[in-house]
């Protein structure tokens, strides 16, 4: 959390950038949608609009920086490695666990920013490439394992992602205990995959 003392003193450029991202991220989670007020970000961070724009030429640049920061955390937590597991069901369950933990700790920031109409046509190529790489890996494995066409496989991967997202949000909002939510999340993911698996 950004304190008044933090915002008042001079910060190194990297620290100031990080502070602006932190303030904006908190605002997205509280507000639940976009756009944000640049004046309010500046007020909370103790910076002028001019200084804000020196770091982020547009609000879309700021939001893409938030997305990249979130994706870097998911990468560090092993999401790409999980998506590459040879067994499709294990890959999906592992990705679900990583994503659940991420949302439970940090909130549904990724979902809120990516899905908001304000970002339509403004999500950076780097963010889209990461998302497509993960969803694509799962969709390809799903096509092989479940015999789905490309659109169906992507739809399945996208739908299954909503389970850890919602379970993680319940934990973040203190509506459910973490252990119970995680167990329920993984059970629901397994049930969903079982329901669409071809009969032997």
Domain residue limits, the chain: 4-57, 62-196
Is 62-196 in CATH node 3.30.70?
no
CATH match for 4-57 among 1.10.10.60, 3.40.640.10, 3.30.420.40, 3.30.70.1290: 1.10.10.60
- For residue 160, what are its two tokens? 């299954």
Q: At residue 111, does pLDDT exceed 80?
A: yes
* Confidence class for position 1, pLDDT limits 50, 70, 90: low
Counting every residue written for the chain, the total comes to 200
pLDDT tens sequence across 126-161: 999 998 899 888 888 888 888 888 788 888 888 888
pLDDT tens sequence across 79-97: 999 999 988 889 999 999 9
What residues have CB less than 8 Å from 67, skipping those under 6 apart? 110, 113, 114, 123, 124, 127
- For residue 172, what are its two tokens? 């973040």
Is the pLDDT higher at 4 or at 148? Answer: 148
Question: pTM above 0.85?
Answer: yes
Q: At residue 181, does pLDDT exceed 80?
A: yes
Instruction: Tell me the average pLDDT across 100-111.
Output: 97
Share of the chain above pLDDT 70, in %: 94
Q: Is 106 in contact with 22 (CB distance < 8 Å)?
A: no
Distance CA 140, CA 26 (A): 35
Is the pLDDT higher at 159 or at 73? Answer: 73
E strands, 22-180, are none
């Amino acid at each position: 959390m950004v304190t008044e003392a933090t915002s008042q003193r001079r910060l190194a450029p990297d620290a100031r950038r990080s502070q602006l991202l932190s303030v904006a991220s908190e605002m997205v989670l509280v507000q639940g949608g976009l756009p944000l007020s640049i004046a309010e970000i500046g007020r909370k961070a103790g910076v002028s609009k001019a200084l804000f724009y020196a770091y982020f030429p547009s609000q879309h640049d700021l939001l893409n920086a938030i997305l990249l920061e979130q994706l870097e955390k998911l990468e560090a937590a092993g999401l790409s490695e999980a998506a590459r597991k040879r067994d499709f069901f294990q890959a999906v369950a592992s990705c679900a666990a990583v994503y659940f933990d991420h949302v439970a700790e940090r909130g549904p920031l990724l979902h809120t920013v990516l899905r908001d109409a304000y970002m339509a046509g403004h999500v950076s190529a780097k963010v889209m490439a990461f998302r497509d790489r993960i969803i694509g890996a799962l969709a390809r494995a799903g096509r092989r394992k479940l015999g789905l066409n490309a659109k169906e496989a992507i739809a399945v991967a996208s739908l299954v992602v909503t389970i850890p997202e919602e379970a993680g949000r319940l934990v973040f909002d203190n509506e459910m205990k973490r252990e119970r939510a995680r167990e329920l999340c993984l059970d629901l993911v397994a049930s969903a995959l079982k329901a669409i698996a071809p009969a032997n």
